[in-house]
Structure 1
């Protein structure tokens, strides 16, 4: 039997996160965070800045906040709140015109008296409608228009508090109005008991069984019912607060004419009082300025005020500026409702990015409780920095990407049994041969550690590397701060992964010099401090080289200024500008002591200071070193290339 043709329908995936969405790009995120940390931000601030700025694929919190405020502004700019008053005025004028037309065709004293009554009506709409509540209309059209006013007011007032009530009460009968009034009385009784702390579980069940049709949201407890009603009641109060005093007074008078029964207004006033007592934390005092041309009825205006409240809450959630703020605080459903599904997707992706950064262990707590980049994060930043540097070196040399290992030296052709701690590559042929010979002797195991042989390599000399980086204020001021840190990251990554036997020491020098770990250097903030104490830095470099007497000594100096400070025997740093003879003597003297260790010395001169150029030329000639004047973008490539050149030599 032939298979029946099947039709398939395709649509958006709505059950949770999109399974086909691209994975979170932690590399881009970490590069961004690392860049901000190196510029002086704390890791927490850098993470917040990333979330505010967003990524290449996702809008950030700032962009989403801007759209929220645009939506809020558009809502106020296009609408106004007096739609119900305007409609009542039009109906009142229609009723008065029809009544006067009818009276004008009657030649009686009663008609003239009624015309005088109409002429004496109060000028305000609320007062006129109230005065006409007992008027005996002679025109059927006028009576119908006046009844429309009462019906409209009742439906609008109910629509303010109960969603969809305006449509449900179209052409309401007196019996319908009585049912509404009974519902309000029962509701106020329920809320009153709840406010007094009484158990209302049974009363709530009976209330919902009797009046559940008025609550399509289907609340399951008194608390849920209060939450549902309080939000709309607070929005209705904010709507009144947003109107002029005259408009507010008119509505208060008109409310007594709702459905021609003042008891309805009284029941609603009692409801508002109950809700305000139960939920004082709702915004009952706020207001908003509406200045557009589109008139909104009371129910519609109340919903607009609800939207304003939701948009304000979203703006606060997106700001993440309050204590304990988390991305999980953002109401994704409300965000999607107001800004569209893509906004919800972007916010969810940012929250996932924050969670993934934490899950991957890229941050850790310092002893003082602050957040800092973990060693894992520093390795990833180092990989990125080294990758950029290697790309620059290859581009300069015309090389293609290759995978090289420089930790163990060149293979000699010989092999030896593996021993604990060996990191050299396995000799696969010898390892498999050993396994076959062992199995031929009756051992059934497929492979054993005793079978493994490794490739012997020629011994490669170690290097003791001292990277001296200038941290004086001019490095920050002239934009050299981040390139300096990325250079240290790249060199540290290269040595820790490819030349693990080498010993790298990072030394910073401003007014004083000090040895730092990589994490300290990456998070180091620029400080306004005068002094370039190369003398102290060379002293620490010499100590490092002497601690590694069997290693090839390498000294790399990155600076943008001649030495202006030196260390006194008592440990005090002395600053002078221009450089004093004492500073120059101390610096040259320490350089001579380091030179006695026969290191490879390279000065990387940043900027175009002629005094610095003269100084580094002289000291490089004195110690047999080199001078390199790289661009900021090329600093990392020059330092890494010089290190590799020294290793090859």
Structure 2
């Protein structure tokens, strides 16, 4: 029997069995920025700029765009058409003079006089020679070559690729151009009246699509291409000297008039300006190359230059509301190639996957780390802290006890009177069999019993009070404080889940902080170090966990300069007023009565600050430590582990 199943390539969307996009390295790189003090948005911006997993970042793509821009600027001079027109005009006149010189007739002398009287301005010279009856076949052909050149260059400056379409001076080709312009203007006018349809555009492309090598898919795409080209042509004219601009404008107007296209081109230019007023229609560009460029090539160079400048700006992402979706993949492909598009798509996919896999979330326009990302960041911070800790300095933090409610250690021991641990049945029966030599029934004796050894873990209520005042940024200690808080939270929640942890930030006010909020938090741009309010919040938290060992740690770089008034408003004064110090010390005394020891980590050696915290230590019995910002995490985590062992493990007060 044949199998009812068929196997083949899956064609109905992304491969459902493909492994998920691995963003762990990206989260770690993102975390490095956050732990260094950046917000999640700033860290993501730097990650996208640097690139990841073998892909170029935005900075590398931007450098490539800048290099291409300099290449475009060095492509040549903008007056190439004028130079070529002058050369062809001089050649035609020279060939005509050579034909007239041997002829002794008055007509030949009269024609020579006409040639001598030609104006120096090439546009006026071309206009006067347009009605001249050439005697020399070579001169007539050269002048026709000049007119064909003008026709191609003028059209190519408005329609990219038109030069190739107009290589043949076939009158039918010119008629097709006229028909195309007439149909295009009619289509734009219908669209302005709200009467345009996609079917009308497709009909237009069936008739004239070979004149548009970029193959636009709708009217908006066509208008965008034509408007950019027209704006570049205007900038090309503005970038010439006034004399060159006047000469070239006169030559272009004459060419269009000769082709009977002036009116249609004016209609098109007006419509394009109305639809894309945002484009730069009057700018000037300096080209540094030596190669003379025709009008079409010069317009292409300036169009490419504008595209590269715009691409460089969007790749920089330095403007308000910047987003990777602002970067046009088609513009990247045209300017930098397919590999750059692949790199850009990888960056966009990375940003999407960070959100899809639950590491980033957007709340009210803000980019925030999710709890999942914060856990990973906390683990990273904790690894760094433990790498900084001395192995001998950590100490044990568990109390081995006879309580049955503890956690199993994996070991057993003989039963003792009063033990409440569970009996290890297997070890107990094995002891009886070895003692009696086997047989049934198995007779147990007191000495056969073994119990499972357990440990009872102490429970702590941990409060970490972190100074959020702007001085923390100025002294470059904010990043260390943020990393320390994340490391402590990770340690407490992963290794001591029975502990209750509260992070409190304080500046003019104090407030509890969620770990996800802390990761993306910036220091407050306000005045005030309200330690009194922070201690009040910590006290309320400890009161909610009265049965736990209180652990209170303060990270600050300044003495108290603010306190709460009776109506709840903060009061700031510098230098600190006696009322602020009195209110703060009152909260310290309340902490002391709760049995909570305050350990203060100083991040500045200001004498006034040191005197204040020494007084706090004297009244409370806590410790004062002055770690460097790099060692702050190790000090705080080590202090937490010491404090968890209870009063017996705190040791003496140190400063």
Instruction: Please give the TM-score of this superposition, normalised by the length of structure 2.
Output: 0.76
Residue 187 of structure 2 is matched in structure 1 by 194
Please say if 1:239 is aligned against 2:232: no
Residue 435 of structure 2 is matched in structure 1 by none
Which stretch has the larger CA shift, 296-305 or 574-583? 574-583
Structure 1 pair 291–534 and aligned structure 2 pair: CA distance change class (3 A):
closer
Q: Which structure 2 residues correspond to residues 594-613 of structure 1 after superposition, within 5 A?
A: 594-613=591-610
Residue 518 of structure 1 is matched in structure 2 by 515
Q: Give the one of 323, 328, 340 matched to 1:326.
A: 323
Residue 106 of structure 2 is matched in structure 1 by 109
Compute the displacement of 1:506 (Å).
2.1
Cα distance in 1 between the residues matched to 2:228 and 2:582? 78
Structure 1 pair 380–276 and aligned structure 2 pair: CA distance change class (3 A):
farther
Unaligned runs of 5+ in 2: 1-13, 414-423, 428-451, 650-655
Please say if 1:349 is aligned against 2:349: no
Structure 1 pair 398–309 and aligned structure 2 pair: CA distance change class (3 A):
farther
Structure 1 contact 557–604 (Cα < 8 Å) conserved: yes
Please say if 1:397 is aligned against 2:395: no
Deviations 1:141-179 (A, max 9, x none): 333322221222223234334544434544x35xx1x11
Cα distance in 2 between the residues matched to 1:588 and 1:202? 81
Cα distance in 2 between the residues matched to 1:599 and 1:284? 68
Compute the displacement of 1:318 (Å).
2.7
Structure 1 contact 465–502 (Cα < 8 Å) conserved: yes
Deviations 1:7-53 (A, max 9, x none): xxxxxxxx99xx999954322443155247x45x5x54554455456
Compute the displacement of 1:570 (Å).
6.1
Cα distance in 2 between the residues matched to 1:326 and 1:462? 47
Please say if 1:411 is aligned against 2:409: yes
Which stretch has the larger CA shift, 205-214 or 506-515? 205-214
Structure 1 contact 157–255 (Cα < 8 Å) conserved: yes
Q: Which structure 2 residues correspond to residues 398-547 of structure 1 after superposition, within 5 A?
A: 409=407, 411=409, 413=411, 457-527=454-524, 529-547=526-544
Which stretch has the larger CA shift, 310-319 or 49-58? 49-58
Compute the displacement of 1:408 (Å).
6.8
Deviations 1:382-423 (A, max 9, x none): 222212212222xx43999xxx9x9975516479xxxxxxxx
Structure 2 contact 509–533 (Cα < 8 Å) conserved: yes
Structure 1 pair 478–195 and aligned structure 2 pair: CA distance change class (3 A):
closer
Residue 27 of structure 1 is matched in structure 2 by 27
Cα distance in 2 between the residues matched to 1:571 and 1:223? 59
Deviations 1:425-463 (A, max 9, x none): xx9x99xxxxxxxxxxxxxxxxxxxxxxxx874221211
Count of residue correspondences: 581
Structure 1 contact 130–253 (Cα < 8 Å) conserved: no
Structure 1 contact 83–298 (Cα < 8 Å) conserved: yes
Q: Give the one of 372, 376, 398 matched to 1:376.
A: 372
Compute the displacement of 1:541 (Å).
3.1
Deviations 1:177-233 (A, max 9, x none): x11222023223423442453778888777766665545555677776666555544
Structure 2 contact 314–326 (Cα < 8 Å) conserved: yes
Residue 154 of structure 2 is matched in structure 1 by 157
Compute the displacement of 1:577 (Å).
5.3
Structure 1 pair 235–104 and aligned structure 2 pair: CA distance change class (3 A):
same
Please say if 1:129 is aligned against 2:122: no
Q: Aligned Cα RMSD in Å?
A: 4.1
Residue 175 of structure 2 is matched in structure 1 by 182
Structure 1 pair 584–145 and aligned structure 2 pair: CA distance change class (3 A):
closer
Compute the displacement of 1:97 (Å).
2.4
Q: Which structure 2 residues correspond to residues 278-293 of structure 1 after superposition, within 5 A?
A: 280-282=274-276, 283=279, 285-292=281-288, 293=290
Structure 1 pair 191–590 and aligned structure 2 pair: CA distance change class (3 A):
closer
Structure 1 contact 230–276 (Cα < 8 Å) conserved: no
Compute the displacement of 1:497 (Å).
1.2
Compute the displacement of 1:129 (Å).
1.4
Structure 1 pair 352–223 and aligned structure 2 pair: CA distance change class (3 A):
closer
Q: Give the one of 549, 555, 560 matched to 2:557.
A: 560
Cα distance in 2 between the residues matched to 1:527 and 1:202? 58
Structure 1 contact 155–169 (Cα < 8 Å) conserved: yes
SS across alignment from 1:247: helix
Cα distance in 1 between the residues matched to 2:121 and 2:215? 41
Structure 2 contact 21–353 (Cα < 8 Å) conserved: no
SS across alignment from 1:85: helix
Structure 2 contact 464–552 (Cα < 8 Å) conserved: yes
Residue 264 of structure 2 is matched in structure 1 by 270
